[in-house]
A and B are shown apart, each in its own frame.
Chain A
Amino acid sequence: ETGVTQTPRHLVMGMTNKKSLKCEQHLGHNAMYWYKQSAKKPLELMFVYNFKEQTENNSVPSRFSPECPNSSHLFLHLHTLQPEDSALYLCASSQTSGGDYNEQFFGPGTRLTVL
């Protein structure tokens, strides 16, 4: 595997279900990100992890719970979601070695539908 991978690619869940999204990066980066992309809205940053430590949480509801066990893996645990949480969830990774560059590499996303 190369780059950033995400599983599953598609997920349909009920509002009472508990599920998890998985992201893995094979690029040796130290930062990982979760984004939410809803229809007709800009990408919204949800969480940032740098060296396994959460550095940003953009007022995300507690029904979304991230986990970063190491610099290569990132999870998003979902429980009691709402239909408006249906969206494309994108994972990204980057280096954070300073400077203004730090291009983010994205995974293919998980298309989530909440019924």
Chain B
Amino acid sequence: AQKITQTQPGMFVQEKEAVTLDCTYDTSDPSYGLFWYKQPSSGEMIFLIYQGSYDQQNATEGRYSLNFQKARKSANLVISASQLGDSAMYFCAMREVGAGSYQLTFGKGTKLSVIP
């Protein structure tokens, strides 16, 4: 079974609108961390936001927020006031702390296109 599932291969959003990118995860480890990365066409992976499994509140970083629903095992990324520069691939990733590994498991990604 896939540990990280991103069901939207591609998304379009109008500039200045908000958009939600979906991510569901699968783990039996009670301690884990969830990450979102942005990958522009240049190739570099850029860290956006992090949510720990024990965090009580949803993470926020500027225009990025994470809608964390632990019981449903979802960690959706919300981008508010979309900008043209937000057009990129977005990856959800998870680290299972209890496994003692530093490995990040990534989803297949969602390609976001912002329309002027």
Contact = CB atoms under 8 A, between A and B. Distances in A.
Given A42-B4, A100-B53, A103-B35, A111 B106 contact: no
B47 A105 contact: yes
Interface residues of B, number: 29
A102 B4 CA distance: 18
B97 A109 contact: no
Interface string B26-52: 000001110101000011111100101
Interface string A83-100: 000001010101010011
B108 A42 contact: yes
Contacts, number: 67
Interface string B82-116: 00000000010101010001111111110000000
B103 A90 contact: no
Interface of B: 4, 31-33, 35, 37, 42-47, 50, 52-54, 91, 93, 95, 97, 101-109
Interface of A: 31, 33, 40-43, 45, 48, 50, 55-56, 58, 88, 90, 92, 94, 96, 99-109, 111
